[in-house]
């Protein structure tokens, strides 16, 4: 089947089970659940859960055991966007052409919906760990660390601290390895861990994830200056508006384009050293280079 069609079908499958893992909008706290579900529904590509599921399949996983972790990872990714959009952070009112959570539900509910999504990710994973045991515990630990104080939150912190100040490429790498690559790495690693991959195999996947994550972020910076607003669903030049240094401002658009290509090629080469194959996953990772949105 055609890659784009297959990806679309897989995205739809993810949206179905993702919804089943989200809270029902019941109880006196229904508005909280509504704000959480709205936040997840606004998000779009389901890239991280898709990578997690494909890594699980690549290492021989055949059942639905990875679904709670894929759902949890998307909740974690979504909470980070909800909190990043808050007035005290990036103060964004729109994402993918729709109101951000705090813009729709108010600032307090933006904070609580984010907290709710982060905590709910661990509620869902705790259930799975109680039911599934050791490999599930490994996967949860991988996702927890990637999202955490030396991972995504560190990236967000350093990004915030340096906004409006001159940055070096080394600093930008430090931020992006944590803010973007950490979750992508964890998607590959957690999926593989669930299927019983060895620590050595996880270490290879970590390198793959780092390369893909950096390529993904550089591509994001490129699209912010040279993309198509309609396809992106958001205005261009947000980095400039927020006074952020990017790979484009630091190394120029041509070298940025080259780096994206090189990192992606290296990532695929590394992936091919593993004794398993997943053609769709390889195409998916490569599509991050060629994406226009």
| Closer by beta carbon to a second copy, 21 or else 263 | 21
Q: From the CB of 154, what's the least distance to a second copy, in Å?
A: 4
Find the DSSP H helices in 43-106. Answer: 47-58, 67-84, 101-105
Distance between CA atoms of residues 46 and 14, nearest Å: 7
Spatial contact of 216 and 84, defined as CB atoms under 8 Å apart? no
Of the pair 152, 205, the CB lying nearest a second copy is at 152
In the bound state with a second copy, the residue whose beta carbon lies nearer, of 71 and 129, is: 129
Residue 86 sits in the site that holds a second copy (CB under 8 A): yes
* 60: region left, alpha or beta (phi > 0 left; psi from -120 to 50 alpha): left
- Phi-psi category of residue 12: left, alpha or beta, with phi > 0 → left and psi -120 to 50 → alpha: alpha
State which of residues 15, 98, 126, 259 lies at the interface with a second copy (CB under 8 A): 126
Does the footprint of a second copy cover residue 120 (CB under 8 A)?
A: yes
**Element of type H or E holding 95:** strand 94-95
- Contact assessment for residue 183 and residue 55, using Cβ atoms and an 8 Å cutoff: no
Query: Binding of a second copy at residue 123 (CB under 8 A)?
Result: yes
User: What's the closest the beta carbon of residue 111 comes to a second copy, in angstroms?
Assistant: 6
User: Pairing mode, if any, of strands 98-99 and 94-95?
Assistant: antiparallel
203 binds a second copy (CB under 8 A): no
| Nearest distance in Å: CB 224, a second copy | 21
Contact (Cβ atoms closer than 8 angstroms) between residue 39 and residue 105: no
User: In the structure encoding, which two tokens stand for residue 201, read together?
Assistant: 């195999």
What percent of the residues of the chain are helix, what percent strand, and what percent coil, each to the nearest 5? 75, 0, 25
- Kindly state the smallest distance separating residue 186's Cβ from a second copy, in Å: 12
d(CA 38, CA 66): 23
Residue 19 CB, shortest distance to a second copy, in Å, is 15
Q: Nearest distance from residue 145's CB to a second copy, in Å? A: 6
Q: Binding pattern to a second copy, positions 145-184, x when CB under 8 A?
A: x-xxxx--xx-xxx-xx---------x--x---x------
Contacts of 131 (CB under 8 A, 6+ apart): none
- What single string gives the DSSP state of each residue in 152-167? HHHHHHHHHHHTTS--
Q: Is 111 in the site for a second copy (CB under 8 A)?
A: yes
**Interaction between residue 286 and a second copy (CB under 8 A):** no
To a second copy, the closest distance from the beta carbon of 157 in angstroms equals 4
Size of the site for a second copy (CB under 8 A): 55
Instruction: Specify the residue, 59 or 120, whose C-beta has the smaller distance to a second copy.
Output: 120
| Contact between 6 and a second copy per CB under 8 A | no
φ, ψ of residue 215 to 5 degrees: the values are -60, -40
Whose tokens are 């005290």? That residue is 88
* 31 contacts a second copy (rule: CB under 8 A): yes
Q: Please identify, using beta-carbon distances, which residue of 28 and 62 lies nearer to a second copy.
A: 28
- Does position 32 interact with a second copy (CB under 8 A)? The reply is yes
Binding residues for a second copy (CB under 8 A): 23, 27-29, 31-33, 36, 79, 83, 86-89, 106-112, 114-116, 118-120, 122-123, 126-127, 129-130, 133-134, 137-138, 140-141, 144-145, 147-150, 153-154, 156-158, 160-161, 171, 174, 178
């Amino acid at each position: 089947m055609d890659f784009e069609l297959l990806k679309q079908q897989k995205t739809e499958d993810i949206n179905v089970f993702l919804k089943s893992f989200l809270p029902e909008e019941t109880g006196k706290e229904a508005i909280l659940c509504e704000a959480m579900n709205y936040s997840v529904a606004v998000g779009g590509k389901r890239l991280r859960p898709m990578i997690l599921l494909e890594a699980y399949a690549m290492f021989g996983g055949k059942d639905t055991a990875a679904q709670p972790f894929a759902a949890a990872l998307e909740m974690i990714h979504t909470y980070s966007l909800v909190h990043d959009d808050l007035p005290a952070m990036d103060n964004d009112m729109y994402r993918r052409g729709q109101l951000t959570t705090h813009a729709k539900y108010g600032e307090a509910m933006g904070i609580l919906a984010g907290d709710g999504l982060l905590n709910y990710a661990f509620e869902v994973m705790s259930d799975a760990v109680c039911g599934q045991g050791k490999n599930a515990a490994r996967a949860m630990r991988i996702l927890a660390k990637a999202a955490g104080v030396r991972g995504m939150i560190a990236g967000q912190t350093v990004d915030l601290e340096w906004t409006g100040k001159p940055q070096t490429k080394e600093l930008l790498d430090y931020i992006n390895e944590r803010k973007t690559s950490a979750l992508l790495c964890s998607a590959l690693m957690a999926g593989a861990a669930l299927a019983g991959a060895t620590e050595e195999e996880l270490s290879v996947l970590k390198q793959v994830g780092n390369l893909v994550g950096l390529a993904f972020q550089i591509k994001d910076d490129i699209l912010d200056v040279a993309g198509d607003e309609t396809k992106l669903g958001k205005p261009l030049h947000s980095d400039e508006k927020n006074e952020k240094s990017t790979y484009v401002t630091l190394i120029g658009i041509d070298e940025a384009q080259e780096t994206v290509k090189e990192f992606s090629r290296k990532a695929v080469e590394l992936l091919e050293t593993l004794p398993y194959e997943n053609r769709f996953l390889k195409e998916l990772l490569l599509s991050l280079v060629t994406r226009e949105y």
